[in-house]
Amino acid sequence: MSAMTSRKSRRLEFRTSEAEYDLLAAAAAEAGTSVSEFVRSLVVESARRLVEERRIVRISSQHAAEFYAALDDESLVPQLQELARQSPPELS
Amino acid sequence: MAEPRFELLEDRHLTGSFDCGEPSLNLWLSDHALINQSRDLSRTYVAVDSGNGQVIGYVALVTAQVLVEELPHSQARGLAGLDAIGAVLIARLAVDRLLQGRGLGAWLLLRSLRLCVEVADRVAVRAVIVDPLNKSATDWYARYGFVPLPGREDNRMWLPIKRIRASL
């Protein structure tokens, strides 16, 4: 896929085979929408799912004990204590 | 001389000239932050120069989950052998190029962490996760005590809420 920038929105172009295009056109017609809107909505939805995966972090069972111990650690973080003492940034 | 304001992003905020030097972070603020907010997908807080009203930095917060695989003998405890721990993910944090190096990023982090503690006082959240874009961002978070998650090889780092609460 290549991306070209316009002012407010962006244009995406990509190549596909005749057979794939016919399939997309048929599916878009089925969905009652244009090919580009059909493709756009599905691609955006897939991208959103991918981004949402970032919100899940998996810890394997081998590291579970280490993780749980850290979760209940209440020791101070000296760097954060220092940060909390700093005065807010001054803007000129 | 004035302290910047820390505000939830709204339509009225002037984000047009924001440039942190990282195109993906600029684009996210100008094109996606408000839409995501209206869909309750993220909350973006902006640092506003109280002099001219310009947005000079931002931080985007979302919920996250740490899924811990349980050991076979403890599988009865959790759903499908997974224990889900609630977390806040600092998904994006950026400062305008013209104001970098003045501690504005650290101030945004501090304000965000205080917010995370407030959230954790009301809803079960036990960790704050950060997702640094690159090595320099990883080093920057390490300066404030963030550490890699156990056994993970990606960039994500974290601190437990208990340590943040104790320190702020």
Looking at the predicted structure, is the pLDDT value of residue A45 above 90?
A: no
Mean pLDDT of B127-156: 92
Cβ(B133)–Cβ(B157) under 8 Å? no
What's the pLDDT at B80?
62
CB pairs under 8 A between A and B: 135
The pLDDT tens digits for B57-85 are 999 999 999 999 876 665 555 556 788 99
Mean pLDDT of B44-58: 94
- Min CA distance, A35 vs chain B (Å)? 24
**CATH level 3 topology of B5-167:** Aminopeptidase (3.40.630)
Local confidence band at A1 (pLDDT 50, 70, 90 cut-offs): very low
Of A34 and A5, the structure prediction assigns the larger pLDDT to A34
What percentage of chain B reaches a pLDDT higher than 70?
Answer: 93
Element (H, E) at A41: helix A35-53
Q: What is the ipTM of this complex?
A: 0.88
**Domain segments of chain B as ranges:** 5-167
Q: How far apart are CA B88 and CA A84, in angstroms?
A: 19
Q: Which two tokens mark B88?
A: 């806040």
Q: How far apart are CA B105 and CA B93, in angstroms?
A: 7
Enumerate the active-site residues of B.
141
| A-interface mutation test, from B71, B143, B167, B168, most A Cβ less than 10 A away | B167
Does the CB of A45 have a partner CB in chain B at under 8 Å?
no
Q: How far apart are CA A5 and CA A12, in angstroms?
A: 9
Cβ(B119)–Cβ(B88) under 8 Å? yes
Angle value at C-alpha B24, between B22 and B30, nearest 5 degrees? 105
Does the CB of B4 have a partner CB in chain A at under 8 Å?
yes
A65 — alpha (psi -120 to 50), left (phi > 0) or beta? Answer: alpha
Mean pLDDT of A24-28: 94
The pLDDT tens digits for A47-92 are 877 776 778 999 999 999 999 999 999 999 999 999 999 988 887 6
Local confidence band at A10 (pLDDT 50, 70, 90 cut-offs): confident
What's the pLDDT at A6?
43
Q: How far apart are CA A62 and CA A39, in angstroms?
A: 42
What's the pLDDT at A7?
60
Q: How far apart are CA B156 and CA B148, in angstroms?
A: 6
Mean pLDDT of B137-150: 95
Read off the amino acid at residue B32.
Answer: H
Cβ(B67)–Cβ(B106) under 8 Å? no
Q: What is the mean pLDDT of chain B?
A: 91
- The reply to whether residue A88 touches residue B3, judged by beta carbons under 8 angstroms, is yes
Read off the amino acid at residue B106.
Answer: A
- Separation of first and last alpha carbons in chain A: 44
Q: What is the mean pLDDT of chain A?
A: 87
